[in-house]
């Protein structure tokens, strides 16, 4: 028996980007554990990371390419699969042009070389793509508007903070490796403030939980802005020298009424005053989660929180910052080092509106769609309509490990290699700023191919001769060797498996040189603020607001494949006692949630973690577990960033068997 240990990084679309040590016995990975030497991972990984081994060796993995014949899938060879796809592409391109081809992908599996699919479709020509985001688009657009880019502080910088504000983020379940940093800072005297409509697990190590109404975050932030300006409690030097638009915001918020803002956010003025006191306990750092921008005015919400960072003098200082994401590497990878970048005139649709807008396209209609690194049949908003849309497309190709709810809709399913079965570069744009070299650890037991190999072979078969034909290591070297924006030693990276490049600022914007058109921090305009306030009429068409939150045990739908639950669980506040009594609802009862988009069955659970009139449940459920929670979510987009507005979901409870 031979035993060896090798290192790799987790590919999940997660804040933490863990460094892991693999124990390999006789050519197979036996277990994964956290790298004890890595300063962020610190020797432990989450439940999702530990599941990688079972997923890679799961008997449910797709063994060979699959083709749907008379409504049933049959195994076929790679040659037949790629020949079929190439033939279909040639046919539809000849008949309707390249715009009849659509590509849909997302972040279900990380890796630099995964992005080769985007290059392939650039080389193919003008195709139909999806812009915007299901996850974080509004917040990204917001911080680019305010700062010009999206940068976060080094994780260790939290130790300089006197105040830590966790706003709509639940690190206890979705950013596990931030927790030791928070607890250490708290032990050193920092105060931890949680702002969240749900009493999450993070509340257990917070000094104060401000439980706002869903969607009321911007109103609370604006109340604090108003109070700081009216009482002259802001950093005059920073505002006068380094910002644009303050006078316009100041004039607008002075006319706002605290009573109206408190009605929207669900707090009271004493909460606002106390919050201003803590954020002025400089340095104060803010960590924003992605839930607060999944509303119609999600972008404005993040911009309102950014204002607080600016007014309180917490921008560009140690222990400060408004940390939403940390985009370090992705914008600087040099694809032109590999081949001339094609710039076709693609046709774009907002990703959150795929369910309704894709079928409206004409001249030409979309005839073919490629789907990879995602499971949109359960992850898109308004999934009832999305599934019908996918069914109506004539030819569908899905790349995946398993027969997901999306894969079963396909005509061809191509099995892809797991991250330990391929060589790639890993990095995240969320929090952890390390970059990793993931060397292939083991051979795969199934007839799977990497995305790089699949698209290289497909390019040959359809005659795209200019598409680069290189090995994975050649691609990586070419992509990184000329990336002059950061000082990266590729050989050292390969040798050590991870590095933090030398010229990343540990404190963003410490020189007060912002990347906005003005070179200054730019406040949101009064008109955008006004639109948000006027939109908060809180329609009562359906009594409950439903929040769909991330699960500790799964990243979206990836790890719920093996769930033994027949139905998801939905939590209702014990404060809704009158309605519970009126409807004669029981704890654990199976009910139906329903609105204009669809319905879903769920087991009711009484909770003290949620407010009156609010329901919450974990997202990611497959249809075999009672249906997708996104059967209920709207297909609209946010004010900026083309962000899905999952949290603008209202529904009613229907008692079954009546």
Measured distance CA(473)–CA(489) in Å, rounded: 15
Are both 181 and 291 inside the same structural domain?
Answer: yes
Q: Is 486 helix (H, G, I), strand (E, B) or coil?
A: coil
Question: How many C-beta atoms lie closer than 10 Å to residue 502's C-beta?
Answer: 9
Domain residue limits at 85: 66-134+341-427+443-484
Residue 341, pLDDT > 70, answer no
Q: What is the CATH number of the domain that holds 152?
A: 3.40.228.10
What pairs with residue 652 in β-bridges?
594
Measured distance CA(103)–CA(316) in Å, rounded: 39
What pairs with residue 116 in β-bridges?
none
Are both 539 and 417 inside the same structural domain?
Answer: no
Are both 635 and 590 inside the same structural domain?
Answer: yes
Are both 112 and 154 inside the same structural domain?
Answer: no
Are both 376 and 392 inside the same structural domain?
Answer: yes
Give the closest residue to 81 by CA, choosing from 470, 447, 466, 452.
Answer: 447
pLDDT of residue 402: 95
Number of domains in the chain: 3
Examine the fold and report which residue of 324, 352, 374 is the final residue of a domain before the chain moves on.
Answer: 324
Place of tokens 């209202």: 650
Measured distance CA(655)–CA(384) in Å, rounded: 22
With residue 21 as reference, give the H or E element that holds it: strand 19-25
| pLDDT per position as a tens digit, 239-280 | 999 999 999 999 999 999 999 999 999 999 999 999 999 999
Average pLDDT rounded to a whole number, residues 520-541: 88
State percent of the chain over pLDDT 90. 81
Average pLDDT rounded to a whole number, residues 173-191: 97
Residue 491, pLDDT > 90, answer no
> Mean pLDDT score of the chain, rounded to an integer?
93
Place of tokens 């079954």: 656
Are both 547 and 637 inside the same structural domain?
Answer: yes
Residue 330, pLDDT > 90, answer no
pTM over 0.85: yes
| pLDDT per position as a tens digit, 312-324 | 999 999 999 999 9
Are both 168 and 305 inside the same structural domain?
Answer: yes
Task: Judge whether 285 lies within some domain.
Answer: yes
Are both 255 and 167 inside the same structural domain?
Answer: yes
Are both 419 and 559 inside the same structural domain?
Answer: no
pLDDT of residue 209: 98
Question: How many C-beta atoms lie closer than 10 Å to residue 608's C-beta?
Answer: 9
Residue 540, pLDDT > 90, answer no
Are both 221 and 313 inside the same structural domain?
Answer: yes
């Amino acid at each position: 028996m031979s035993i060896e240990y090798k290192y790799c990084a987790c590919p999940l679309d997660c804040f933490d980007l863990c460094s892991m040590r693999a124990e390999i016995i006789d050519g197979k990975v036996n277990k994964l554990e956290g790298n004890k030497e890595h300063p962020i991972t610190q020797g432990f990984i989450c439940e999702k990371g530990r599941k990688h081994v079972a997923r890679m060796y799961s008997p449910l993995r797709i063994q060979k390419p699959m083709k749907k014949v008379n409504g049933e899938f049959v195994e076929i060879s790679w040659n037949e699969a790629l020949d079929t796809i190439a033939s279909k592409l040639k046919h539809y391109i000849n008949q309707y042009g390249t715009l009849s081809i659509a590509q849909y992908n997302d972040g279900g599996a990380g890796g630099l070389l995964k992005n080769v699919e985007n290059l392939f479709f650039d080389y193919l020509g003008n195709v139909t793509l999806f812009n915007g985001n299901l996850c974080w688009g509004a917040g990204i657009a917001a911080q680019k508007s305010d700062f010009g880019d999206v940068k976060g502080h080094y994780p260790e910088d939290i130790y300089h903070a006197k105040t830590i504000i966790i706003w709509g983020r639940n690190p206890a379940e979705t950013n596990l490796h931030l927790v030791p940093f928070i607890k250490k800072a708290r032990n050193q005297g920092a105060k931890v403030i949680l702002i969240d409509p749900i009493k999450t697990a993070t509340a257990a190590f917070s000094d104060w939980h401000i439980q706002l109404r869903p969607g009321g975050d911007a109103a609370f932030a604006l109340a604090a802005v108003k109070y700081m300006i009216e009482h002259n409690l802001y950093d005059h030097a920073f505002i006068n020298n380094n910002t644009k638009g303050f006078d316009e915001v100041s004039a607008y918020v002075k006319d706002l009424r605290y009573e109206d803002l408190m009605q929207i956010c669900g707090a009271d003025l004493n909460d606002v005053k106390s919050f201003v006191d803590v954020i002025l306990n400089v340095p104060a750092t803010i960590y924003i989660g992605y839930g607060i921008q999944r509303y119609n005015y999600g972008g404005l919400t993040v911009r309102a929180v950014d204002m607080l960072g600016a007014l309180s003098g917490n921008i560009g200082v140690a222990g400060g910052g408004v940390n939403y994401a940390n985009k370090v590497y992705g914008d600087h990878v040099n694809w032109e080092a590999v081949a001339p970048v094609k710039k076709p005139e693609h046709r774009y649709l907002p990703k959150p509106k795929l369910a309704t807008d894709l079928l409206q396209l004409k001249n030409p209609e979309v005839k073919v769609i490629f789907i990879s690194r995602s499971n949109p049949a359960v992850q898109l908003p308004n999934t009832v309509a999305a599934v019908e849309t996918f069914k109506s497309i004539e030819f569908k190709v899905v790349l995946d490990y398993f027969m997901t709810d999306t894969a079963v809709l396909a005509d061809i399913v191509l099995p892809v290699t797991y991250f330990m079965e391929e060589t790639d570069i890993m990095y995240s744009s969320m929090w952890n700023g390390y970059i990793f070299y993931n060397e292939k650890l083991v051979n795969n037991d199934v007839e799977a191919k990497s995305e790089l190999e699949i698209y290289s072979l497909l390019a040959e078969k359809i005659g795209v001769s200019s598409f680069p034909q290189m090995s994975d290591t050649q691609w990586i070297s070419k992509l990184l060797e000329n990336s002059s924006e950061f000082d990266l030693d590729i050989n050292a990276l390969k040798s050590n498996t991870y590095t933090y490049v030398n010229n990343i600022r540990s404190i963003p914007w410490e020189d007060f040189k912002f990347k906005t058109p003005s070179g200054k921090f730019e406040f949101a305009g009064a008109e955008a603020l006004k639109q948000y306030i006027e939109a908060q009429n809180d329609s009562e068409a359906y009594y409950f607001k439903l929040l769909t939150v991330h699960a500790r045990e799964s990243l979206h739908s990836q790890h719920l494949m093996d769930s033994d639950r027949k139905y998801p669980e939905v939590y209702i506040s014990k404060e809704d006692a009158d309605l519970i009594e009126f409807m004669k609802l029981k704890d654990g009862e199976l009910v139906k949630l329903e609105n204009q988009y669809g319905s879903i069955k769920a087991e009711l659970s009484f909770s003290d973690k949620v407010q009156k009139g609010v329901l919450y449940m974990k997202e990611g459920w497959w249809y075999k577990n009672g249906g997708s929670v996104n059967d209920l979510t709207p297909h609209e987009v946010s004010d900026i960033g083309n962000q899905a507005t999952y949290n603008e979901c209202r529904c009613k409870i229907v008692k079954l068997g009546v």
